[in-house]
Structure 1
Amino acid sequence: DVNPHYITPKMLQFRLQKLMDEYVAGISTWYQTNGRLLGIAEKKLQMLKEDSLKMRAKDLHELLRAWENYHRILTAEAHMRHIQFREETRYPGYYYRADFLDLDDDNWRVFVNSKYNRATGEWTLRKVPYVQLIK
């Protein structure tokens, strides 16, 4: 169902999945990304946000899926911003940053907290020390 005036929730979800897979260290890239790909993902997420305003629902089920997609986009952007902020590789188990291949335990053993300003659309990220509770 391709129409220039609207997009279905299912098609928007497919586009989001493809974007995250190809640019934000998904399985198709063997969990590898870099700063340049993350920059492209940032632009494509912005375009997807604009397109999401044209989502349409033909029934209540699609309406539910449409609202879920708004949450998915926000979650995907948070995930992408955190990977951008952490300039390090974390594999096995997470992702490779091809532009930062070394494991950096000093910067890994921290939490990254983010705050999203809905009014301006800006993200603020900061590192918070990790405290080992059980030794």
Structure 2
Amino acid sequence: MGPCYLDTRHITAEQQDDLYHAYLNMAPAQTLKWIENGKGPKGQPVEVEGTEPYVVGGHTASGFWVATNRETTVHGLFAAGDVAGGAPQKYVTGALAEGEIAAASMAEYLAAAKGTASHEEAGEDELMLQEYEAYLAREPGNLTAEQLEEAMQKVMDEYAGGIHTDYRYNRSRLTLADEKIEHLESLLPQLAADGPYGLLKIYELRERLTVCRALIAHLLARRETRWHTFGENADYPEQSPEGLCYINSRFENGAFHIYRRPLIKGGHYEHTHQ
């Protein structure tokens, strides 16, 4: 039911100014909308709407395991902003700073690696090119990337703790979600691309389906409810002392292997690509 409002009309002018600045960092479009309409949160209630839990993001402290130069455990793959795990509430300014760190690190990596490509890497490039050409040469069929994306969203919403279930999930529904996502992955070779942008959409969808399976694997691994309202594990509704750890995973031989790592408080830590 809706609409639903957060009554902010009682705030002071100073508090409204603070909100303008906060949202410039979190969601700049909201501040611009307030200014454009000539009415801020002090002048009218703010309409709010439930949304999906984030797979990665400033609120979740999740993402890829990165070193201080933002290189992931995969050599040559760098992550920044929301994708870089373990640092909550980075928002816009933090993401920009991390992007600059990652870009400088990538430039250094490429300069050091120039002219060092192996025969194995060259063979991988050729296989990738053949895969691209197959999508571009295929005649359009009954399935489109947009249809598979919509099906993916529906599966995650209804079976993996989306808004449809009030962010609640359990083992049986997660297991079913993984089966359905795997089925969608099996349909990818049927897609056709009508150009570079169509090819981009197919590969974006493929990566998102992989992320879906990673999320499901991590939800199954946490036998607790760590953050209420963000996600409710119906099988394990309470927090667990054993849950105070990082849940990491590696995708190997078609499956996600879960690793639990202790929280690092203070000191210095770097991953070792293992």
Using the size of structure 1 for normalisation, the TM-score is 0.86
Paired residue type of 1:56: A
2:159 maps to 1:23:
yes
Partners of 1:95 and 1:10 lie apart in 2 by 27
Higher RCO (CA < 8 A, seq sep 6+):
1
Conserved 8 A contact 2:225-2:237? yes
Which residue is 1:112 aligned to? 247
CA distance in 2, matches of 1:73, 1:114: 16
CA distance in 2, matches of 1:110, 1:93: 20
Match of 1:88 among 214, 224, 227: 224
Contact 2:167–2:229, Cα closer than 8 Å, also in 1: no
| 2:257 pairs with 1:124 | yes
Contact 2:170 2:234 in 1 (8 A): yes
Query: How far off its partner does 1:109 sit?
Result: 1.4
C-alpha deviation, 1:23, in angstroms: 0.7
Is 60-69 or 27-36 further displaced after alignment? 60-69
Identity %: 27
Alignment check: 8 A CA contact 1:7 1:52 kept: no
Partners of 1:63 and 1:108 in 2: CA distance: 40
Q: Where in structure 2 are the equivalents of 1:25-64 lying within 5 Å? A: 25-64=161-200
* 8 A contact 1:57–1:66 mirrored in 2: yes
SS in structure 2 at match of 1:132: coil
The structure with the largest strand share of the pair is 1
- Counterpart residue number, 2:234: 98
- Quick check: 1:23–1:33 contact (8 Å CA) kept in 2? yes
Q: Report if the CA contact (8 A) 1:22-1:28 is conserved.
A: yes
2:246 touches 2:262 (CA, 8 Å); kept in 1? Answer: yes
Residue 55 of structure 1: how far off its partner (Å):
1.5
Tell me how far 1:132 sits from its aligned partner. Answer: 2.4
The number of aligned residues is: 127
Cα offsets for 1:62-93 (capped at 9, x unmatched): 21101100110111110110001111113335
Give structure 1 stretches of 5+ with no counterpart: none
- The structure that has the greater radius of gyration is 2
How many angstroms apart in 2 are the aligned matches of 1:108 and 1:116?
A: 22
Structure 1 segments of 4 or more deviating over 6 A?
none
Cα root mean square deviation, aligned: 1.6
Structure 2, gaps ≥5 residues long: 1-140, 268-274
Moved more, 49-58 or 68-77: 49-58
Secondary structure of 1:53's aligned partner: helix
